[in-house]
Chains A and B, each alone.
Chain A
Amino acid sequence: MPTQYYLFLSLALFCIGIMGTLMRRNAIIIFMCIELMLNSVNLLLVAFSKMYGHADAQLFVFFIMVVAAAEVSVGLAVIVLMYRKVHSVDVNILNRLKH
Chain B
Amino acid sequence: MAALLLLLLTGVNAYEALTLPLEGKRLFNDMLMPGQVSAWFNTLMTGCTLLYVMLSGRDIRKVGNHVADYFALIFFTLCGLYILSSYNTLLMLFLGIEILSIPQYILAGADKRNLKSSEASLKYFLMGSFSTGILLMGIALLYGAMGTFHISEFSFPTTELFSPLALAGILLIVVAFGFKVSAAPMHLWTPDVYDGAPTPFASYMATVMKVAAFYAFIRLFHNSLGSVSNKWMLVIMIITAATLLIGNITAVFQQSVKRMLAYSSIAQAGFMLFAVLSVNELGRQSLIIYAVAYTLATVGMFTVLAKLKDYTYDGFNGLAKSNPMLAFATAIFIFSLAGIPLTGGFMAKYYAVSALMTQGNAMWLVLFGLLMAAVSVYYYFRVIWAMYFKPGTPQLHEPMTTTDNWLLLFTASLVILVGVAPQLVLAFA
> Which A residues lie at the B interface, using CB under 8 A?
3, 7, 10, 14, 17, 21, 27, 30-31, 34, 37-38, 40-41, 44-45, 48, 51-52, 54, 56-57, 59-60, 63-64, 67, 70-71, 74-75, 78-79, 81-82, 85-86, 91, 94, 96-99
Q: Are B143 and A45 in contact (CB under 8 A)?
A: yes
A30 CA / B126 CA spacing, docked (Å): 8
Does residue B8 face the partner (Cβ distance < 8 Å to A)? no
23 A-B contact pairs sorted by A residue (CB < 8 Å): A21-B130, A34-B126, A40-B137, A44-B141, A48-B144, A52-B147, A57-B140, A57-B149, A60-B91, A60-B139, A63-B91, A64-B94, A70-B98, A75-B125, A78-B121, A78-B122, A81-B118, A94-B122, A94-B123, A97-B116, A97-B119, A97-B191, A98-B192
Report which of B115, B126, B140, B259 forms a contact with A96, defined as CB distance below 8 A: B115
> Which B residues lie at the A interface, using CB under 8 A?
90-91, 94-95, 98, 102, 105-106, 109, 112, 115-116, 118-123, 125-126, 129-130, 132-133, 136-137, 139-141, 143-144, 147-149, 191-192, 195-196, 254, 259
Report which of A38, A70, A85 forms a contact with B136, defined as CB distance below 8 A: A38
* A74-B125, A75-B125, A91-B126 known; A96-B119 Cβ under 8 A: yes
B199 to chain A, nearest CB (A): 14
Q: Are A17 and B144 in contact (CB under 8 A)?
A: no
Instruction: Collect the chain A residues with CB atoms within 8 Å of residue B132's CB.
Output: 34, 38, 67, 71
Instruction: Collect the chain A residues with CB atoms within 8 Å of residue B191's CB.
Output: 97
A55 CA / B133 CA spacing, docked (Å): 22
Q: Are A71 and B143 in contact (CB under 8 A)?
A: no
Q: Are A44 and B140 in contact (CB under 8 A)?
A: yes
Q: Are B133 and A41 in contact (CB under 8 A)?
A: yes
Q: Are A71 and B129 in contact (CB under 8 A)?
A: yes
Q: Are A7 and B144 in contact (CB under 8 A)?
A: yes
User: Among B98, B129, B132, which residue has the most Cβ atoms of chain A within 10 A?
Assistant: B129
Instruction: Collect the chain B residues with CB atoms within 8 Å of residue A98's CB.
Output: 192
Instruction: Collect the chain B residues with CB atoms within 8 Å of residue A27's CB.
Output: 122, 126
Instruction: Collect the chain A residues with CB atoms within 8 Å of residue B137's CB.
Output: 14, 37, 40-41, 44
Instruction: Collect the chain B residues with CB atoms within 8 Å of residue A57's CB.
Output: 140, 143, 149
A94 CA / B228 CA spacing, docked (Å): 42
Q: Are A34 and B136 in contact (CB under 8 A)?
A: no
Pick the 9 closest A-B CB pairs, nearest first.
A37-B133, A97-B192, A41-B136, A44-B140, A48-B144, A34-B129, A94-B119, A67-B98, A52-B147
Closest chain A residue, CB of each to CB of B254: A99
A96 CA / B123 CA spacing, docked (Å): 12
Instruction: Collect the chain B residues with CB atoms within 8 Å of residue A21's CB.
Output: 126, 130
Instruction: Collect the chain A residues with CB atoms within 8 Å of residue B139's CB.
Output: 41, 60
User: Among B109, B112, B115, B195, which residue has the most Cβ atoms of chain A within 10 A?
Assistant: B115
